Structure 1
């Protein structure tokens, strides 16, 4: 498996020259702690989030999209992806972009715990920013896409926080990594794959616990197996991402979950994120349909 983190300096240099063109249409509130500062595991640099909200007064609370960044589970920050917050807010969505603790400080289960606590903060406080706590969606790229998928399908991250129901109403997964680390790490196909034992640990049962493919709830009388999901992969991205996303899509469909799988021809892994600078990108167009309830059946 290739390393998912790639230098973004050139991208950020370009985007930084464009910020003035879009910042006036939204308001950003930075570095809000989503975990109690007195918590033993609180990291003042990582357990914070930014909120982007549209300027102007809306007729009703806006849908909320929580975006989780990628970075190979050992790098990345909310600060890189401000353009996603701005673009979503410009289109009438309250966007939340958290950071979370990374490897080697913690392993993936603790990262997912951080992300769940960020969502809990959103549920409890987003109304103060014009967002609708009943319409919370998760979005992520690369490792962040895998975390978003895990939170969408695995309720236990929220039940242990005291929530009776999973608050995630849908997921938008952009070239998601780590969808099925259980089967991937059992194979150990490439010499570099041993690096993933740092964030995922050495125990196969742990790999399974954080693989969204194996954590989709079965559904039943209480509701569907998982919320609606939009999956996007680049035509020239890593084969492991394509295989994981496609198999996840097929499993969701088999369980009766509404899932859409889209391959974007010619796209590599990093451009799958950088394309989100452009507000008419297909991912935004279909995300808006999902969060506004206008997606076709």
Structure 2
């Protein structure tokens, strides 16, 4: 009897694995993944063969519009010190299945680089996307940026910092909109000045000790009329620093007459805000598809 009791949990686990594998197979069939495409010239002196690469997920079905599918460039989180595009294949697959070309990027991590270099990497990935995405069925005139956690802060910089883009091959900002999934780093200037929470000193590793850098890398100070629209999704149980800075960001958008769609998902903590994107019909995808016109 004891032997059969032990087999019960094993059988449940195996069944769960089978369901997950079957789901991934079903998601993979309608899409094509192109892996490890370099978005920085291999001859560049700072080229990093592991971090200066991206994956493209394209719908296999040709787009009905001649221009191609809308494009979402996704930037992973990880406190600016960790993370990898290979963790987020489920986002690429699910976007492609629903009529979006997804670009999932790596960027250099701290240390040894800092957030300004990471933002430059993201800008270079965006420049590559605009120049090349038509080869993968995407419309370069409909490129959106998305990020979770630290990736949300970097995505917000791409949407608001035209000077950053100009320094990295984009004289005009091509971003049509920004999707924020529980974003961190929107106002690191205030955050690092206040140092309200235990462990806050760790964020000086990626952001340095210079308050001028904190402010320059905080998208909230770059809000102005004419920036692309924003779509926010926040966990109802996320960190106070994220909900606070996101709320101030929303208020500044309202003040310039450019209100953002601002959605709070009850009961969700920070990490589940990205994990829920495993489910194709998640509320975030529902809003995202409308936002990008898929």
TM-score by length of 2: 0.91
Runs of 4+ in 1 over 4 A off after TM superposition: 13-17
Assess if the C-alpha contact under 8 Å between 1:227 and 1:257 holds in 2: no
Q: Given the alignment of the two structures, is residue 43 of structure 1 paired with residue 48 of structure 2, yes or no?
A: yes
Tell me the equivalent position of 1:66.
73
Assess if the C-alpha contact under 8 Å between 2:31 and 2:58 holds in 1: yes
Closer, same or farther: CA 17–188 of 1 in aligned 2, 3 Å: farther
Closer, same or farther: CA 99–184 of 1 in aligned 2, 3 Å: same
Alpha-carbon distance, 1:129 to partner: 0.4
Tell me the equivalent position of 1:88.
95
Assess if the C-alpha contact under 8 Å between 2:250 and 2:259 holds in 1: no
Q: Given the alignment of the two structures, is residue 102 of structure 1 paired with residue 103 of structure 2, yes or no?
A: no
Alpha-carbon distance, 1:17 to partner: 6.3
SS in 2 for 1:102: coil
Alignment partners' CA distance in 1, 2:259 and 2:27: 33
> What are the superposed Cα offsets for residues 157-206 of structure 1, whole Å, 9 maximum, x if unpaired?
11113423111110000000011100010011134111111100101111
Alignment partners' CA distance in 2, 1:249 and 1:42: 36
Assess if the C-alpha contact under 8 Å between 2:69 and 2:101 holds in 1: yes
Q: Given the alignment of the two structures, is residue 151 of structure 1 paired with residue 158 of structure 2, yes or no?
A: yes
Alignment partners' CA distance in 1, 2:164 and 2:198: 32
SS in 2 for 1:63: strand
Spell out the pairing of 1:94-243 with structure 2 (5 A cutoff): 94-216=101-223, 218-219=224-225, 224=226, 226-243=227-244
Question: What residue ranges of structure 2 are gaps of 5+ in the alignment?
Answer: 1-16
Greater Rg over alpha carbons, structure: 2
Alignment partners' CA distance in 2, 1:192 and 1:231: 26
Alignment partners' CA distance in 1, 2:98 and 2:40: 28
Tell me the equivalent position of 1:277.
278
Alignment partners' CA distance in 1, 2:170 and 2:121: 15
Closer, same or farther: CA 93–118 of 1 in aligned 2, 3 Å: same
> What are the superposed Cα offsets for residues 105-152 of structure 1, whole Å, 9 maximum, x if unpaired?
210010000000000000000000000000000001000011001111
SS in 1 for 2:108: coil
Tell me the equivalent position of 2:32.
27
Closer, same or farther: CA 15–230 of 1 in aligned 2, 3 Å: farther
Tell me the equivalent position of 2:249.
248
SS in 1 for 2:23: coil
Alpha-carbon distance, 1:24 to partner: 0.4
Assess if the C-alpha contact under 8 Å between 1:54 and 1:93 holds in 2: yes
SS in 2 for 1:242: helix
Alpha-carbon distance, 1:42 to partner: 0.9
Which structure shows the higher helix fraction? 2
